[in-house]
């Protein structure tokens, strides 16, 4: 039994979370066809802010719910997630859901790269190979210089950059911050920032499909992030990471059901390479954690004179 106590529940929460994110991305692509970006994101963050407040504030009280040791980090984290959302919106406007999701799933590999270059963490040669493999998979999907290439296909790489720094900051803040408080700040910071611009772009949704897409964006973002919090509090990250790649399958299913899109053979090869490298990275993390625990349990040998 792990110190977390519920590893299997954590895995279930993770799979449900990535299913929610796949629905979020599919709904975002639907909304991007007719709804301005800031208006769509305003709905998404408004739902998260009010839903999280309705749950947390009655239970903790206003002061406790917003108590944080690092308000500047909370602001920066909210800005990074908003930037990630903007990149996601425009990426999905021009790209199929499955291919977009596959490129985004190189984030855990990029976080490994950032940990090595920014935090000075030791990275094994095998992990460097997996990082290179993930980037290669992304390039196979994008295919710079190919017939189907356009500048818009580079947008997911901007999302990967902003989301990787978001994940690094989240990992650091998790040591001192209440995850639900962080979730609350994320919603309200995104809502405040988008509220500044939404009056200039507001249009009233004209169809039921548009309303459903906007509501699903808010609901699935809120539920997905909350489920991910539950996953990481129920099981170690090394257990959770490999199951995050189920999002690619869910995204491809959503793209097929809603847009009748199936990736070509090159995209399938790139998606497969990213998934294999990502799952292998998760396995490697688990293996290294086990080795560290075994080393810590070895008795100290006396020095013979």
Q: pLDDT per residue over 170-181, tens digit each?
A: 777 877 788 788
DSSP 8-state secondary structure symbol assigned to residue 303: P
> How far apart, in whole angstroms, are the C-alpha atoms of residue 261 and residue 28?
16
Helix axes 97-104 and 71-94, enclosed angle (nearest 10): 140
Check: CB of residue 37 under 8 Å from CB of residue 193: no
Phi-psi region of 143 (alpha: psi -120 to 50; beta: other; left: phi over 0): left
Q: What is the mean pLDDT of residues 55-69?
A: 90
Q: Could you identify the residue written with the tokens 């980090």?
A: 73
Asked if the model's pLDDT at residue 301 lies above 80, the reply is no
For 190, the token pair is 């995104």
HSE value, Cβ hemisphere, 13 Å, CA-based, for 126: 10
22, 139, 133, 24: CA torsion to nearest 10:
-10
Q: Does residue 61 sit in helix, strand or coil?
A: coil
Of 179, 180, 190, nearest to 76 (Cα)? Answer: 190
Q: Are 84 and 166 in contact (CB under 8 A)?
A: yes
Extract the tokens encoding 305. Answer: 């004179």
C-alpha separations of 197 from 38, 49, 201 in Å? 7, 17, 7
Average per-residue pLDDT for the chain: 84
Q: For residue range 218-275, what is the model confidence (pLDDT) as tens digits?
A: 999 989 988 887 887 787 776 777 788 888 889 989 989 998 888 888 888 988 888 8
Report how far residue 172's alpha carbon sits from residue 73's, in angstroms, rounded to the nearest whole number: 10
């Amino acid at each position: 039994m792990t110190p977390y106590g519920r590893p299997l529940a954590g895995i279930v929460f993770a799979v449900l979370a990535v299913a929610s994110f796949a629905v979020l991305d599919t709904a975002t692509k639907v909304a991007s066809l007719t709804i301005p970006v800031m208006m769509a994101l305003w709905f998404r963050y408004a739902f998260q802010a009010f839903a999280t407040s309705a749950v947390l504030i009655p239970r903790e009280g206003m002061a406790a719910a917003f108590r944080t040791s690092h308000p500047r980090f909370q602001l920066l984290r909210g800005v990074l997630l908003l930037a990630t959302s903007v990149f996601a919106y425009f990426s999905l406007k021009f790209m199929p859901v499955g291919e977009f999701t596959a490129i985004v799933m190189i984030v855990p590999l990029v976080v490994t790269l950032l940990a090595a270059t920014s935090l000075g963490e030791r990275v094994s040669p095998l992990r460097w190979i997996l990082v290179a493999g993930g980037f290669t998979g992304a390039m196979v999907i994008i295919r710079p210089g190919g017939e189907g290439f356009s500048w818009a296909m580079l947008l997911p790489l901007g999302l990967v950059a902003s989301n990787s720094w978001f994940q690094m900051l989240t990992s650091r803040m998790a040591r001192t911050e209440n995850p639900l408080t962080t979730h609350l700040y994320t919603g309200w910071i995104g809502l405040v920032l988008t509220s500044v611009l939404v009056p200039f772009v507001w249009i009233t949704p004209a169809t039921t499909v548009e309303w459903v897409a906007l509501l699903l964006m808010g609901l699935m973002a809120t539920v997905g992030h909350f489920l991910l919090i539950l996953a990481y509090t129920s099981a170690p990250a090394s257990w959770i990471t490999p199951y995050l790649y189920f999002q690619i399958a869910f995204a491809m299913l959503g793209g097929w059901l809603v847009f009748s899109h199936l990736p070509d053979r090159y995209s399938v090869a790139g998606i497969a390479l990213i998934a294999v490298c990502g799952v292998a990275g998760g396995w490697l993390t688990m293996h290294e954690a086990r080795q560290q625990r075994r080393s810590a349990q070895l008795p100290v040998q006396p020095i013979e004179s």
